[in-house]
Amino acid sequence: MLKGQQFNTTHSPTWCPGCGDFGIWTSLKNAIDELGLEYHNTVVVYGIGCSGNMANTVKTYAFHGLHGRPLPVAEAVKLANHGLHVIIIAGDGDTYGEGMNHFLTSMRGNHDITLIVHDNQVYGLTTGQTAPTSEKGYESKSTPQGVIEEPVNPVLLALSAGAGFISRGFSGNTVQLTELIKKGIQHKGFSLVDVFQPCVTFNKHNTFQWFFRRVYDLDKEGYVPNSWEKAAEKARETERLATGIFYIHERPTYHGSLPQLAKGPLVVRPLAGIDVRKVFKDFI
């Protein structure tokens, strides 16, 4: 059996042939396999969009959330049972558009979850409208005269919001992407894995060939991800596009800072003897 194939379900993806989503799907399954994670201890929360179509093709527990809302669902899962490995699969519109506030808040709180963003610079499922990450001047059916706004820079946003693990991959390099996902899952705290994921149907500019000419691996250039300032400098590059880990910083996790969870996950705590009447009196 090929690596990661035991995490296949009886359903096959419905993405366009050649879609960059296939590389992320493969890398996620390989990462779960190589880390030895168990089906019943792993939850993947999916957003809406092409990325969310992965929901029934990975054999773990899963939750298909609303557009822009997978992060608060993942936070709730982690708080209810912090013994679980919680992963989020979402798109760039899902995360940096509709879900921007959740993105920033989750990083500020340092929830121990791993966010994998399918960053294809368009709204692929709704036929290629401009997304928050589309380049300035990019022409689409929603911006026929070109995008006016500057694009969102996910790495810079993550740095400014205090994320402790910030990385970027490319779906055309599944070996590197598998390692980034593994390290993101192992990190104690919020982990971002932003992934360049070409939309072969609607984005005719940011193609696989376009990325292959520009991406480079930070590891191969001897980069050490321990400087906020150097990470910000790399994130601002536009001619060459860095992939790999930009920044790692350890700080207390959200659930680890709650004394209510010190004795173990809520799901295994006994309910007997709990009196909620005072709570009702305080809030109602």
**Half-sphere exposure for 205 (CA within 13 Å, toward CB):** 14
User: How far apart, in whole angstroms, are the C-alpha atoms of residue 73 and residue 88?
Assistant: 9
The whole-angstrom separation of Cα 24 and Cα 28 is 6
Q: Please tell me the total number of residues recorded for the chain in this structure.
A: 284
Question: What is the Cα–Cα distance from 238 to 216, expressed in whole angstroms?
Answer: 12
Orientation of helix 174-186 relative to helix 21-35, angle to 10°: 50
Q: Give the predicted TM-score (pTM) of the model.
A: 0.94
CATH number of this structure's domain 5-283: 3.40.50.970
Q: Structural domain boundaries of the chain?
A: 5-283
Per-residue pLDDT of the chain (284 residues; tens, 9 = 90+): 557 788 888 998 999 999 999 999 999 999 999 999 998 999 999 999 899 999 999 999 999 988 889 999 999 999 999 999 999 999 999 999 999 999 999 999 999 999 999 999 998 888 888 999 988 988 888 888 988 999 999 999 999 999 999 999 999 999 999 999 999 999 999 999 999 999 999 999 999 999 999 999 999 999 999 999 999 999 999 999 999 999 999 999 999 999 989 989 988 888 788 888 888 888 87
